[in-house]
């Protein structure tokens, strides 16, 4: 990370690390699932409209599928970021300059 970018974010990062606020974290996680599930629902509806298909599933099943997709996508993003960071660590450790 460039030093100027880190300097701009340093106070925020330090505050996040030193001030533990689990209530705020749980509220943020709840809102994350609500908004991301709504976004996935909208995308599913848009995909159905784009191919001129009427939704046949009940609303609750549609919601369960959206929640499952959000969970899978969240895990996939977490794994991808972990692989990127881990690969950079391994390259730095095993390949001297």
**Tens digits of per-residue pLDDT, 4-37?**
777 778 777 777 777 776 676 778 888 888 999 9
Cα angle 31, 39, 79; round to 5: 75
Helix axes 59-94, 22-50, angle to 10 degrees: 110
DSSP 80: H
pLDDT digits (tens, 9 = 90+) for 28-65: 888 888 999 999 999 999 999 999 988 888 989 989 99
Tokens describing residue 46: 């848009």
Verdict on whether the full-model pTM lies above 0.75: no
């Amino acid at each position: 990370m460039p030093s100027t970018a880190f300097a701009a974010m340093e106070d925020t990062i330090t505050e996040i690390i030193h001030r533990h606020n689990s209530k705020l974290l749980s509220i943020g996680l709840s809102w994350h699932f609500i908004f991301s599930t709504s976004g996935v629902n909208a995308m599913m509806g848009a995909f159905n409209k784009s191919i001129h298909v009427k939704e046949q599933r009940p609303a609750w099943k549609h919601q369960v599928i959206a929640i499952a997709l959000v969970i899978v996508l969240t895990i996939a993003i977490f794994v991808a970021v972990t692989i990127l960071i881990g690969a950079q660590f391994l390259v730095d450790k095993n390949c001297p300059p």
